[in-house]
Structure 1
Amino acid sequence: VGGANSAGQAAVFLSQVAAHVRMLVRGPALSRSMSRYLSTRIEASAKISVHTRSEVIELRGSGHLQSVRWRDDSTGESLDTPSTNAFLMLGAVPNTAWLTGCLETDDKGFIRVGGDVADTSAYPDGSRPTGLESSIPGVFAVGDVRSGSVKRVASSVGEGSVVVAAVHQALERG
């Protein structure tokens, strides 16, 4: 999710290991917020599909992500796409209003994690979120959407790879 250079770089990177990468972009075109070289590379990739004027409206699943519900704002059509992963590359203005009442965010809408989480009532036995874990046990935030992140694709990819072990630990906890 995202349409600037960080999202484009992540899409190209992920297309090397994923069966398919679907980019959801709020704006009307990649060229408005992405370098020409990168947008040309994305448009030429058979493993990346770009959906402009689109936004996530719901994440669905039971115990783990199973699908992403998104809306094509140019047609109003809502679609469900089976997915076990979602990456938000939102930059300086996060589109996280849909998380209100679900995950704790800072005053700018970025997701709080680890020691920055104030409300730990969802955690059992007085425990606290660790590292990149949000205010909900087993839900992690990395990259641009995380409060305090440096907003660079390299750090986002690094955080994503680091959080894999934490996801496995969360799944073991049940």
Structure 2
Amino acid sequence: MRGPDGADTHFDELRDVFLLQTRDKRNPLVYAGFFHSTSSIFQGSAVCVYTMADIRRAFLGPFAHKEGPNYQWVSYQGRVPYPRPGMCPSKTFGTFGSTKDFPDEVIQFARHHPLMYNPVLPHGQQPLFLQAAVPYTFTRIAVDRVTAADGHYDVLFIGTDVGTVLKVVS
């Protein structure tokens, strides 16, 4: 997101997530609370909303790894072991009843490639709700979908580290 002076700011500490079911049970909305920024320019808390489909797409994409003389993050183009790191163990699609059964190659690959290359961007490419320069940070989030005379609204209940609860209508 853009900070007040136009510089990019990244919220990097995820503290709470709330899944809001939709008509499509496989694709809930994911409300995520980011409660800190390591930016020296901008300090604040944010709530972003994602679709599970966007999250799945990123996790099925390429892994990231550092390469080259500047040791920069690039898309990993090599062989990915089976079962693909990040997949849940399943007797349906293999012989793995637990991650303890995964081959060492899979565990080592996951240790050396902990990041996905493609980002998961929030709906609208920006936070749904943002607070900056306030004496508190967000700690918890809950969401309720309500019906009003003029449509449906998502009501966010956001807990803070000073014991208050913010009520935000989206």
Q: TM-score range by the shorter chain?
A: under 0.3
CA radius of gyration, larger in: 2
| Larger helix share, 1 or 2 | 1
- Larger RCO (CA under 8 A, 6+ residues apart): 2
| Larger strand share, 1 or 2 | 2
TM-score (norm 1): 0.25
